[in-house]
Chains A and B, each alone.
Chain A
Amino acid sequence: MIRVQLPYHLQTLARVGREVELQIEGVATLSSVIDALETQYPALRGTVRDYVTGQRRDFIRFFACGQDMSLEPLNTPLPVGVVRGSEPFRIVGAMAGG
């Protein structure tokens, strides 16, 4: 079970609290966790990654086990702590704008 923490606006869109739990089949990667998130919460499709390019949106950041994974390729495996569920995978709206 992967624990995913969401920024406020995605919580309101998906009508969930700060943290959701996702079941991932196979190797848990950045890409597979977003796939699972969008499948379980269709309202979030297109909000974390661009529909056309499939790339992370500019002002979205990914953190796990104290590491900034935002610039890692989307097929990067998630850290063991996240896979075991002892640490959350954090999707963060970057500090920017007014």
Chain B
Amino acid sequence: MSSVRVLVGTHKGAFILTSDSKRKKWEVSEPLFAGWEIYHMNGSPMNPNRLYASQSTGWFGQMIQRSDDGGKTWEPVGNKFTYEGVPGTHLWYDGTQHPWEFKRVWRLEPSLTEADTVYAGVEDAAMFRSTDGGQTWNELAGLREAKGHLWQPGAGGMCLHTIILDPDNPQRIFIAISAAGAFRTEDGGKSWKPINQGLQSGEIPDTSAEVGHCVHNLAMHPSNPNVLFMQKHWDVMRSENAGDSWKEISGNLPSDFGFPIAVHAHEPNTIYVVPIKSDSEHFPPNGKLRVYRSRTGGNKWEALTKGLPQSDCYVNVLRSALAVDTLDSCGIYFGTTGGQVYASSDSGDSWMPIASNLPAVLSVEVQTLP
């Protein structure tokens, strides 16, 4: 019988939530890595029992943990992230150039095809790859040549937070960097191209600027890797050509500001966002926590509210805290900065809290187990 494992990274540790395929009764693990920030946990598509966790604090820096038994036991693996060659500089807040400095790992993305390969997106923005299960890491330094000297940190730091691997083409990878934009490689990470044409960012006077756009999250359905969805600082966007150009699909959303975006497991044109009031007020409009679903690939959106708080709710849902399972009736999951994790087993029609009092949730990933 299938089951579901939800990997929750929080501000003060990690939690694993498990259920059978009915997804009505949930078990919440004891805290893992208690007291540490867990920016992301993720499992290998090739071996679901292989999990990775990004563990960090301001005191002791970055650790990477790996489990080979589905999260029962963990071992620290390599945590040496050194930029290739002379790291150079990027744009700083005052307009001067500032040296690249490693801070933390935001994203861990295991390969779809190679069991021991895993990618890491880090702050200051760069992409690393390990081919030995996380023991050693090497930078894919070509990314910083994609106008890296013009990248500038946003309020959340200059982080590479999204990595999407093309299931049809192992050489093609999409990534997104806060306040720099989206980028694509066609050669396995040697060279990268900004893919931000069509993005309109009011903060940037030059409407044709190749970089400088604050992309919050990207999503793709594996059946159609040329179609990308984007939640930007403001605006929800869609590309039909692997990011070469973008069109806005915000439509009737109450606010097109938000952080995460996700695609239904079985319906490539059904997408989900969680609108947030504004860049100044990071909580749902009118105190109502609503997930919005479009079954038309954007523009036409419906509010999903059943089971979600519809008054006095002032939490945020961060960029990596929305995920889906692949059961026949697709499950949708998200975590909040208030420590709740909500799940829907019916594509978003209704929701229930599956954990209510965790530390602030930084990330949610879901594994559907056979």
- Assess whether B58 is in contact with A52, with CB atoms less than 8 Å apart: no
Tell me how far the C-beta of A55 lies from the nearest C-beta in chain B, rounded to whole angstroms: 12
Q: Which of B58, B61, B63 contacts A50 (CB 8 A)?
A: B61
Q: Are B80 and A9 in contact (CB under 8 A)?
A: no
Quick check: is A60 within 8 A (CB to CB) of the other chain? yes
Q: Which of B60, B81, B82 contacts A47 (CB 8 A)?
A: B60
Name the A residues within 8 Å of B57 (CB-CB): 9
Task: Please determine whether B35 and A9 come into contact, CB atoms closer than 8 angstroms.
Answer: yes
| Nearest-neighbor residue (CB-CB) of A48 within chain B | B60
A47 touches B80 (CB 8 A): no
Cβ–Cβ contact A47 & B58, under 8 A: no
Query: Quick check: which of A23-31, A80-88, A90-98 contacts chain B, the rest being far away?
Result: A90-98
Q: Could you mark each residue 7-48 of chain A with 1 if its beta carbon is under 8 Å from any beta carbon of chain B, else 0?
A: 111100100000000000000000000000000001101111
Residues of B within 8 A of A7 (CB): 59
If A51-B82, A52-B102 touch, does A13 touch B59 (CB 8 Å cutoff)? no
B122 to chain A, nearest CB (A): 13
Judge if B152 is at the interface, Cβ distance under 8 Å.
no
Q: Is the CB of A57 within 8 A of B59?
A: yes
- Measured CB to CB, the closest approach of chain A to B315, in angstroms, equals 18
Q: Bound complex: CA of A9 vs CA of B62, how far in Å?
A: 12
Interface size class of B (residues with CB under 8 A): 10 to 19
Which residue on chain B has the smallest CB distance to residue A47?
B60
| CB–CB B63/A47 < 8 A | yes
User: CB distance A52 to B82 under 8 Å?
Assistant: yes
| Assembled-state Cα–Cα distance A47/B56 (Å) | 10
Query: How far in angstroms is the closest Cβ of chain B from A63?
Result: 15
Docked pose: A39 CA to B355 CA in angstroms: 40
Judge whether A47 and B102 touch: CB under 8 Å.
no
B76 at the interface (CB under 8 A from A): yes
Q: Is the interface of B mostly helix, strand, loop or mixed?
A: loop
Q: Mark B76-97, 1 if CB is under 8 A from A, else 0.
A: 1001111000000000000000
Report Cα–Cα, A50/B76, bound state, in Å. 17
* A93 pairs with B62, CB closer than 8 A: no
CB pair B62 A46 closer than 8 Å: yes
Which residues of B sit under 8 angstroms from A52, Cβ to Cβ?
Answer: 82, 102
Give Cα distance in the complex from A96 to B36, angstroms: 14
B61 touching A57, Cβ below 8 Å: yes
Given the interface pairs A9-B35, A52-B102, the reply to whether A46 lies near B59 with Cβ below 8 Å is no
Query: In the complex where A47-B61, A94-B59, A96-B58 touch, is A9 in contact with B76 (Cβ < 8 A)?
Result: no
CB contacts (< 8 Å) of A9 on chain B: these are 35-36, 57, 59-60
Closest to B34 in A: A12
* Known pairs A9-B35, A13-B76, A43-B76; A93 contacts B59 (CB<8 A): yes
- Residues from chain A with Cβ under 8 Å of B82 in the complex: 51-52
> Which chain B positions have C-beta within 8 A of A93?
59-60
1/0 per residue B44-71: CB within 8 Å of A? 0000000000000111111100000000
Task: Report whether B80 and A10 are in contact in the complex, using a CB–CB cutoff of 8 Å.
Answer: no
A57-B102 in contact (CB<8A): no
Of the candidates B35, B58, B62, the one having the most CB atoms from chain A within 10 angstroms of its own CB is B58
**Can you give 27 contacting A-B residue pairs, CB < 8 Å?**
A7-B59, A8-B35, A9-B35, A9-B57, A13-B60, A13-B76, A42-B76, A43-B63, A45-B79, A46-B62, A46-B63, A46-B79, A46-B80, A50-B61, A51-B82, A52-B102, A57-B59, A57-B61, A58-B58, A59-B58, A59-B59, A60-B60, A93-B59, A93-B60, A96-B59, A97-B58, A97-B59
Report which B residues bind A (CB closer than 8 A).
Answer: 35-36, 57-63, 76, 79-82, 102
Taking Cβ atoms with an 8 Å cutoff, the residues of A that contact B are 7-10, 13, 42-43, 45-48, 50-52, 57-60, 93-94, 96-97
Contacts A9-B60, A43-B76, A60-B60 given; 13 further ones with Cβ under 8 A? A7-B59, A9-B59, A13-B76, A46-B61, A46-B80, A47-B60, A47-B63, A50-B61, A52-B102, A58-B58, A94-B59, A97-B58, A97-B59
